[in-house]
Amino acid sequence: MFALIGTLWNTAVLGTAIYFLNTINLFEFNFSFSTALLFAALLAASDPVAVIAIFEELHINEFLYINVFGEALFNDCISLVLFSTFKSLISLQNEPVGSFTYINSVIYFIISTFGGIFVGIIFGFITSLFFK
């Protein structure tokens, strides 16, 4: 849940800030709010590689190490799904976009995120039975 809420929050805040800076003509070219969100989705995933390396060097509790590592993987996955969702919204820019398009985007995000988690759980369970 930290990865989901944190990545969504980071994307929303970064995208809004980038778009606001665009409206005050800080950048040399203008772009849409969808493009700002697309770029923010790339920046939103925080990658705790340094934290994981320090945990491994100091031999920190294995449970804490696994939690941080798993949260990092979820951050990356959610950021990837957000990026593909915003990319599909940008590709529809020449067509009329209504509330139905945004609802489809939210449904796509939910199915992709929780579908990936479900597939990961199934394959993890099968792998654990195979190597048991």
Per-residue pLDDT of the chain (132 residues; tens, 9 = 90+): 777 788 888 889 999 999 999 888 888 888 888 888 889 988 887 777 778 788 888 888 888 888 888 888 888 888 888 888 888 777 776 666 677 777 877 788 788 778 888 888 899 899 999 887
Closest to 86 measured CA to CA, from 5, 15, 6: 15
Q: Say how far apart CA 66 and CA 55 lie, in whole Å.
A: 10
What pLDDT score was predicted for residue 95? Answer: 67
Give me the helices (H) in the chain, please. 2-23, 33-44, 49-58, 62-91, 99-130
Q: Is the pTM of this model over 0.95?
A: no
What pLDDT score was predicted for residue 126? Answer: 93
What pLDDT score was predicted for residue 6? Answer: 82
Residue given tokens 């590592």 in the structure block: 69
- The answer to whether the CB of 3 falls within 8 A of the CB of 75 is yes
